[in-house]
Amino acid sequence: MTSFNYIDLGKKDYKECWDYQEELLNEVVTDKRASKVPSSKNYFLLVEHPHVYTLGKSGDEKNMLIHADFLKKINATYYKINRGGDVTYHGPGQIVGYPIIDLENYNIGVREYIEKMEDAIIATLAEYGLEGGRKEGATGVWLDAGHKVRARKICAIGVRVSRYITMHGFALNVNTDLRYFNYINPCGFAAYGVTSIQQELKKEVDMEEVKTYLKNHFNRLY
């Protein structure tokens, strides 16, 4: 199997990164059509965004709890986008991953793709002594997932798959300013909180170290 072609974009504007994803997606689609077999081209973008809120195509705008004027006040932007899922936040201190791959080349379907993504995040959290898990009826990775009160989300997942080719992906809270989640119902869940690795460990975490763990576990699981 071809290993992931990781591209670390550092810090990049959300819209610029979205456009770049679309560009790479079109490249993979073109390659697949030309070769008439699953494309072996694959990309895995890693990035931090400036403060931004995004709403998935099936999301409810009521879960965005602030208006445009307040967005300017907190130096954030807002986009309606073409992934699944509801509203979420991206910002500094959060590692966002965008795999752009042909699932047919990996012999997996969409559900298994998301489950493997969750498994890679769970394994990464375990490197820090944190027990991540899945919450019934929700994508992403949670801590105390089965608890009615203490359940809190540490990683959001929202993807788009067209002709088995993926885009968008996950957002893992590492050293994230969690106050920005106060302005939304994260992923449509008003009753549950969010957390970060820093919040759980009570110390700042090395972002490059987390990226290394993520790469290792994604390579292992796919």
DSSP codes joined into one string, 138-190: EEEEEESTT-TTT-EEEEEEEEEEETTEEEEEEEEESS--GGGGGGB-GGG-S
Show the tokens assigned to 139. 């994508």
Give me the pLDDT at residue 189, please: 55
Strands 77-80 and 165-173: unpaired
Give me the pLDDT at residue 188, please: 52
| Whether pLDDT at 28 is above 60 | yes
| Whether pLDDT at 38 is above 60 | yes
Question: Total structural domains in the chain?
Answer: 1
Out of 100, 138, 159, 187, the active site residue is: 187
Show the tokens assigned to 212. 């290394």
- Asked whether residue 1 is assigned to any structural domain, the reply reads no
Give me the pLDDT at residue 187, please: 56
| Whether pLDDT at 67 is above 70 | yes
Which of 54-68, 120-134, 177-191 has the lowest average pLDDT?
177-191
DSSP SS3 for 128: coil
pTM exceeding 0.85: yes
pLDDT, tens only, 154-208: 999 999 998 899 999 999 999 999 999 998 876 555 557 899 999 999 999 999 9
- Asked whether residue 143 is assigned to any structural domain, the reply reads yes
Give me the pLDDT at residue 190, please: 52
* Residue 98 confidence class, pLDDT cut points 50, 70, 90: very high
- Asked whether residue 201 is assigned to any structural domain, the reply reads yes
Q: Any residues with CB less than 8 A from the CB of 218 and at least 6 apart, and which? A: 4, 44, 99, 117, 120
- CATH number of the domain enclosing 192: 3.30.930.10
Alpha helices in 9-153 (DSSP H): 14-35, 68-73, 103-106, 110-126
187 labelled catalytic: yes
Domain range for 214 is: 6-221
